[in-house]
Amino acid sequence: MASEELRPGEVAVDAAVTVDQNVQFIGSIRTPFSTRSECPRQGDTENGPICRLEILPHWQPALKGLERFEAADVLYWLHTARRDLVLQSPKSDGRVIGTFALRSPVRPNPIGLSRVAVLGVDGGAVLVRGLDCLDGTPLLDLKPEHCPFTDLPKNTPVKP
C-alpha cells in the first residue's frame, strides 16, 4: 500500500503544523531494522537485538550517571510516518480505531516511546535492548526509569 493511500474507514485531516516548539534531536538510533516490516511492533528487552543510541557530541556529557541504571525510557521521532490520520485501520480488516487509542507510529507528532534495558555506555553511545524502530531514527530524549532525586522516603517534609 502506498504511504498516502487510505484504508476503508480511515479518515485523514488537514494537519498543517501551526505550532512549532523547536524540538531538537539529540542523536540517532542504530538498529538492525532497515524496513518497517522488519521492525517488531514493540521492542523486546529480553530477546531483542542490541541497538545503539548515538548521542551528538555536544549532548554526550548528559550521559553522566546513566550507567547506574538498568532501564530507561527512550523517546524517538518516527520520522517516516504520516501525521494526518485521526482514524486508522491497523490491520486493514475494516475495523477502525482512533489514533489516540493506538500505539501506531502514525500520529500528529510521531513520537515513539520504549522502555529499554540499558546494557552499557560506550563513549558517546548507549547500548540498549528493547527497540522497535528503523535504523537511523532520530532520538528525542532518554530518561532513566526512575529518578533518584524523586525517590524520597515517605514522610519526607515537602518544602513550600
- Interacting residue ranges for ligand SAM, rule: CB under 6 A: 36, 39-42, 78-81, 103-105, 112-114, 132-134, 137
Specify the residue, 35 or 155, whose C-beta has the smaller distance to ligand SAM: 35
CB of 81 to ligand SAM, least distance (A): 4
Question: Which residues have CB under 8 Å from 51's CB, separation 6+?
Answer: 29, 30, 31, 32, 116, 127, 128, 129, 131
CB of 158 to ligand SAM, least distance (A): 33
Specify the residue, 17 or 158, whose C-beta has the smaller distance to ligand SAM: 17
CB of 147 to ligand SAM, least distance (A): 21
Q: Which among 146, 81, 90 is positioned nearest to 115, based on CA atoms?
A: 146
Q: Is 1 exposed, middle or buried (0-12, 13-18, 19+ CB in 10 A)?
A: exposed
Specify the residue, 103 or 146, whose C-beta has the smaller distance to ligand SAM: 103
Specify the residue, 55 or 134, whose C-beta has the smaller distance to ligand SAM: 134
CB of 130 to ligand SAM, least distance (A): 9
- CA pair distance 160, 157, nearest whole angstrom: 9
CA geometry: angle 1, 113, 97, nearest 5 deg: 45
